[in-house]
Structure 1
Amino acid sequence: MLDVFFLNKNQIITTAAILLALWILQFIMKKAAHRVGHRSEIHITRTRLMFKYINILVTIIAIFLLSLTWGYNAQEIALIFSSLFAIIGVAMFAIWSILSNITAGIILFFSFPYKIGSRIKIHDKDMPVEAVIEDIKAFHLHLRTLDGELITYPNNLILQKAVSLIEKEYHADEGKDAL
């Protein structure tokens, strides 16, 4: 056992340093995302979604750095990663809108001025929508219209359309004819 340690002492120490540095980076990124979420009064489920994205990013970086540490050639690693991303890219080409919605979800997390419970109007010439935001997911928004209809609106479209905040308070019976 000691022979294995002494033979690989440099790699083991470097591995420990990389893991510690990435753990600290992950902690800082999660703390920053939590602070942004708390300061902007973003719902905790959206903040947890950012935590998942941070975990994926740190894992990819860890795999890359640990592969270099344990003796893989940089060109071999680049070939593996480029092949993997090419396969993923070809596979995702058919479902590119999912990627754009995830990216839009990340942008919405940091810069969307409306929150869950906000009453908004989406200025779309084909289908204007006035609704209350019920939930903001990774791929879409859940909007509840004045008639009680639930609409799922893609994140990438909400960034492309003009959206205005309706200041008056929302009432459940609003928009229905009085009896």
Structure 2
Amino acid sequence: MDVFLTSYREEILQTLITIVILVIVRFIFHKAAKKVGELSDFNTARTTLIIKYINVSLSIMLAAILSLIWGVNFNDLGLILSSVFAVIGVALFAQWSILSNITAGVILFFSFPYKIGDRIKILNKDFPTEGIIEDIKAFHMHLRTDEGELITYPNNLFLQIGVTKIEKDSQDDAIDSI
């Protein structure tokens, strides 16, 4: 055991420093995501989903950094990574809409001006929709129409088309005029 510790003292020290730094970064990112969720009054499930994305990303970074610290041969690593990325590339090309919806879900978490309970109108000329946001998930959003229909709308479409928030005052005025 002493031989191992003396032989790999530098690698062990670099590994410990890397883990400590990534734990601190993870803590900062978690606090930031929770703060954004609180300030924007997001559902806790949405915040939890973003935190899972952060954990996966940091775990991949940790594995890559540790493989470099412990001296993985770059030729072998290049062969492995090219093979893995080729398979992932084919899989992601086949599932492009899923990837774009996940990415849109993350973007919507940080920049979407609407929240659960807001009444919105989707400005789509082929399929205009109006309803109340019931839930925002990783891939799609649930809208409840006045007729009681539950409409599932993909997240990536919210980044491509116009969406209008219908204020409660204008709803009340429309009801009063009838």
Whether the TM-score (by the shorter chain) exceeds 0.5 is: yes
Does residue 152 of structure 1 match 2:139?
A: no
**2:24 corresponds to:** 24
**1:90 corresponds to:** 90
The DSSP-based 3-state class of the residue aligned with 1:121 is strand
**2:40 corresponds to:** 40
- Looking at secondary structure, tell me which structure has more helix per residue: 2
Q: Any stretches of 5+ residues in structure 2 without a counterpart?
A: none
**1:14 corresponds to:** 14
CA contact (8 A) 1:101 1:140 kept: yes
Aligned positions, number: 173
Query: What amino acid does structure 2 have at the position aligned with 1:27?
Result: F
**1:138 corresponds to:** 138
Q: CA deviation at 1:23?
A: 0.8
Q: Work out the CA distance in 1 between the residues paired with 2:34 and 2:170.
A: 29
CA contact (8 A) 1:119 1:170 kept: no
Q: Work out the CA distance in 2 between the residues paired with 1:151 and 1:158.
A: 14
**1:111 corresponds to:** 111
Query: What amino acid does structure 2 have at the position aligned with 1:121?
Result: K
CA change 1:26–1:75 in 2 (3 A) is farther
The DSSP-based 3-state class of the residue aligned with 2:159 is helix
Deviations 1:67-104 (A, max 9, x none): 01111134433443333222111112111000000010
Q: RMSD of the alignment, in Å?
A: 1.9
CA change 1:144–1:170 in 2 (3 A) is farther
Q: CA deviation at 1:8?
A: 1.2
TM-score (norm 1): 0.90
Q: CA deviation at 1:170?
A: 10
Identity of aligned residues (%): 56
- Is the deviation greater in 135-144 or in 81-90? 81-90
**1:128 corresponds to:** 128
CA change 1:135–1:169 in 2 (3 A) is farther
